[in-house]
Every structure is written in C-alpha cells, then in structure tokens.
Amino acid sequence: MALHLYAANTSNAQRASCALEEFGLPYTLHKLDLSKGEQKSAEFLAINPAGQVPALVDDAAGVKLAQSCAILLYLADKTGKLLPAAKKADVLRLVAYAASDVSGAIGAYVGFSMSKLADKPAPVAEWLAARVVSALGQADKALADGRPFIAGDEFTIADLALAPAARRAKDIPGVADLGHLQAYVARIFARPAMAKGLAALA
C-alpha cells in the first residue's frame, strides 16, 4: 500500500488513524511501542527526526509527514474531502484551535501529572486543569446551539482534530461538566470509521 501510518495509542495518533478510516484510504499500520523506545529507532527517526508519533509516509507521492493536524490537512488536500470550500477558513481556524489551544493545554496538564517532580503543588495542577476547561469550554459553548459537528452541519477535519483530544481530556477535573462537548465526543466516536480508527490503535 502506498500509505503507511506509524502510530501508537495516543490522541494525536488517533487523529491520523481515524482520518484514514474516514477518508476511506487503504493504509498499512505500523504500531510503535513507546515504552520500548521504538519511536527513537534509526528507522523511525529517518521518517520523523523528532521521534514522535504519528508519522505518515505516502510512497506514491514521496512524502514523509509528521504532526497530526498536518496529516489531516494533507489527506484532505489529497482526497478533496472533509474541507468544504464554503467553510474552509472556519475549519482551518478550528483545526489550529484544536492543535494549539486544546492540545497545548492538555499536554501541559498531562505532562505535569506524569512528571517525576518531588513536589507537585495542588494550585499548579488546578491552574493547568482550568486551562484545559477554558480551552474546551470554547467548543462546548459553540456546540450549545445544537450543531452536530464543531464546524456546523457537516463532518470535517476539524472534528478529526478536536474529538480525539477532547476524549483524552475526559478525566481532567472540570471537563466532564462540559455537557455539550461530552455529547459531541460520544456522537463523533459512534461513527463507524471513527470507532474503527480508534480500535486500530488499541
């Protein structure tokens, strides 16, 4: 197959696996065991020198690409799907929001929680959790109008960018209270292709 996805069971990699399923593109999945440091192997570093998943290789196009949201944009451009021209600007804004505001806040919280710091002040953890709730609260507010998808009535790459990150954040204090967001995440992952993409990395 021309497309190869290198991934582990992370929310960033789930963006890519779910995208490939939603786009209906055949691909070969290469699972990496992060606990064994397989993402630091010479073979993988030749694909992504940063040693992070996911990474996509498109043999037919001679492309090696990292960064989950860049992969979404690449696949949308390749297929001409899930990036409607009429909503392109807003979808791109939402992809950037998911990549920076949402994933940045979640990454900071999770990184702090998993760190081996001898002292983890509760106020710091609370502040980081509040950042996550603030970031995801923007989506919760937008979804309050009853729209089925984050950009409106149509499933787009913005949903592929946002839903896996929001799902990862479900146990962070305060996130469960974002009712519109929680219903949205459940709705998105009820889609057969999303569920298949998630299961592929489990």
Q: Over the stretch 34-93, which tens digit does the pLDDT of each residue have?
A: 999 999 999 999 999 999 999 999 999 999 999 999 999 999 999 999 999 999 999 999
**Dist CA 4 CA 20 (whole Å):** 10
Residue among 24, 69, 26, 85 nearest 161 (CA): 69
What is the pLDDT, as a whole number, of residue 116? 84
Q: Over the stretch 4-45, which tens digit does the pLDDT of each residue have?
A: 999 999 999 999 999 999 999 999 999 999 999 999 999 999
Q: How many CB atoms lie within 10 A of CB 90?
A: 15
What torsion do the CA atoms of 15, 21, 22, 25 make, to the nearest 10 degrees? 120
Q: Over the stretch 106-157, which tens digit does the pLDDT of each residue have?
A: 999 999 999 988 788 999 999 999 999 999 999 999 999 999 999 999 999 9
What is the pLDDT, as a whole number, of residue 1? 59
What does DSSP assign to residue 118?
S
What does DSSP assign to residue 34?
G
